[in-house]
Amino acid sequence: MRLLTIVLALAPTLGFAEISAELSQARERYLSFDFKGIWVVVQQEAEAGEPIAQNMLGAALTTQDGTKGLDYDPAAGLDWYEKAAAQNLDKAVYNLALFWQEEHDGFEPDYDLSQVLAEKAAALGYVHAPVLIGDMYAAGKGFEQDDLKALIHYRRAADMGSYSGLRAVGYAYFHGQGIERDITQTRLYLDRAVAAGDTRSIPDLAYLYEGDEGIAADPLRAYTLYLYGVTRGNAKAAMWLAKFSTDTRFDGVWRDPVKGYAYCLKALALGFDDDDSRAQCDGMASNLSVKQRATAQALAEDL
């Protein structure tokens, strides 16, 4: 059984009021992981009291590897988060809840405070916040481990429209955690998560349509979803599409070992890093001619 895995780290959307054109441009670059040259504008806006900018500084300064363009400084980051949260910016309150679940230099996790902040974020309308509480119950962080209570909070988020909550409920049904295992419900919830904009659910939903878990096999649906996942930059979708494209069970236009190898290479380029992923790509390549490998490599670069 290919396992669907719960991803505890979330990447929620950010709701905000009207902001300056300069900050809007900086934020767009930030969300595209292009941090070069944005921080002067963000700093100025934050110092002027703009909560969106304050939250952005908090996120960058609490990133431990410094990959957002600022040196790691959790005390300063916490200060900016608190300034934004004091203005009831829901994302900042949520980020504070996350902060107090993590190990930071000079700070120990405080799960009680994290729960309080997550509840406040939910009350402010941040739809993903109950998932954080559910994750605490699922992992036994701050509470005794309890799958049923985790599911209750995942359902809260799902009912608020959170794709992370929808995904988590789907995974609970798949694994039978806090509820009887039900693959039909898994499919329904993952389908809703994908429709709500979730990219992580895409390969898991596609996999169900391969027919191994009790859902009627629908190779076209599986192929379409995997391909959609690749276009959204999902590394797991690329790797699973590579396997699907070379699977002898599935005859059709998707059965193409050259494209399969190309998808495998794309998965590696997107950061797919299972223990044997490179070996799997090498195995696919071993069945191809030199010309076919070159074709696949060119295709992977164009994907």
CA atoms of 95 and 159, how far apart (whole Å)? 21
CA atoms of 90 and 113, how far apart (whole Å)? 16
Per-residue pLDDT tens listing for the chain (303 residues): 554 544 433 333 444 458 999 999 999 999 999 999 999 999 999 999 999 999 999 999 999 999 999 999 999 999 999 999 999 999 999 999 999 999 999 999 999 999 999 999 999 999 999 999 999 999 999 999 999 999 999 999 999 999 999 999 999 999 999 999 999 999 999 999 999 999 999 999 999 999 999 999 999 999 999 999 999 999 999 999 999 999 999 999 999 999 999 999 999 999 998 879 999 999 999 999 999 999 999 999 999
Place of tokens 């505890």: 8
Place of tokens 């934050």: 46
Supply the pLDDT for residue 17. 57
CA atoms of 134 and 165, how far apart (whole Å)? 9
CA atoms of 132 and 169, how far apart (whole Å)? 13
Stated as kind and residue range, the H or E segment containing 68 is none
- 49 dihedral zone (left: phi>0; alpha: psi -120 to 50; beta): left
Apex 200 CA angle, 84 and 82, nearest 5: 10
Supply the pLDDT for residue 171. 98
93 and 114 in contact (C-beta within 8 Å)?
A: no
Supply the pLDDT for residue 275. 79
Residue 249: alpha-carbon gap to chain centroid: 30
Supply the pLDDT for residue 4. 55
Complete DSSP assignment for 121-182: HHHTT-TTHHHHHHHHHHHTSSS---HHHHHHHHHHHHHTT-HHHHHHHHHHHHHTSSS---
Q: Dihedral through CA 150, CA 8, CA 203, CA 295, nearest 10?
A: -170
CA atoms of 193 and 210, how far apart (whole Å)? 19
CA atoms of 263 and 237, how far apart (whole Å)? 9
Question: CA 98 → CA 143, 144, 198, 280, distances in Å?
Answer: 16, 19, 20, 36
Which of 170-173's residues contact partners 24+ apart within 8 Å by CB, and which partners? Answer: 170/4, 170/201, 170/204, 171/4, 171/5, 171/6, 171/204, 172/147
Length in residues, the chain: 303
Instruction: Supply the DSSP symbol for 104.
Output: B
Supply the pLDDT for residue 278. 93
Q: Dihedral through CA 166, CA 82, CA 111, CA 94, nearest 10?
A: 0
